[in-house]
Amino acid sequence: MPLTPEEKAARKRERMIEKAREFQLGTYSRKFVANVFQRMIRAEYAALPACHDSAVVDGEMAIVYRKVGQVVCVTCGKVCRWDDSKQVNTGHFLAGRSFSILYEEDNVMPQCVRCNLHLSGNQNAYRMWMLFVRGPDAVERLERLKQQSVSFSRSELVDMRIEFTKRLRAAEERMKGSP
């Protein structure tokens, strides 16, 4: 008798948990979960309808146009394809490898490689964008959250990876259906 989709998903999850046991939690998180999370963030942003987005350009808030499949660097306004890893990353407003903010969606947005890596996140511009777009309450919440200690089990990390992968695929499908 063939397996139901739920049974197949449960078996796949168990295999993923077994594979995760081969790694330390931090290594599994960095190699398997963070990568999917960051791609998902960029893909969901790029799958939104074409529009004018807010970004910091030359130290001032500006409006930048992007098409479906593109993202805008929130700290300089550069427009890139969402999946071009040589051009764009997913930058964290509050840096650090603390699990309490690592997968916090309000803490991440697309950033070009120059701003994220070479300018160490371009923090002054990122703070300006966060305060303008997300507001001071969101910034304060993230700053408090960063002080907390959070840990995830292997099964929680696997579940996060599964969920992020589903959301990534859904965003990619939405982009395929857009003009």
Q: What is the pLDDT of residues 48-91, one digit of tens each?
A: 999 999 999 999 999 999 999 999 999 999 999 999 999 999 99
User: Per the structure block, which two tokens stand in for 5?
Assistant: 């989709």
pLDDT digits (tens, 9 = 90+) for 96-146: 767 889 999 999 999 999 999 999 999 999 999 999 999 999 999 999 999
Distance, in Å, from the CA atom of 7 to the CA atom of 5, rounded to the nearest integer, reads 5
The dihedral built from the CA positions of residue 139, 164, 157 and 115, taken in this order, carries a sign that is negative
Look up residue 18 and give its two tokens: 């077994």
Strands (E) across the chain are located at 51-57, 60-66, 70-72, 79-81, 88-92, 108-112
Q: Please state the domain extents for the chain.
A: 5-176
Q: Is 80 helix (H, G, I), strand (E, B) or coil?
A: strand
Per-residue pLDDT at 96: 72
Q: What is the pTM of this model?
A: 0.93
pLDDT tens digit sequence for 15-33: 999 999 999 999 999 999 9
- Closest residue by Cα to residue 89 from 114, 52, 69, 53: 114
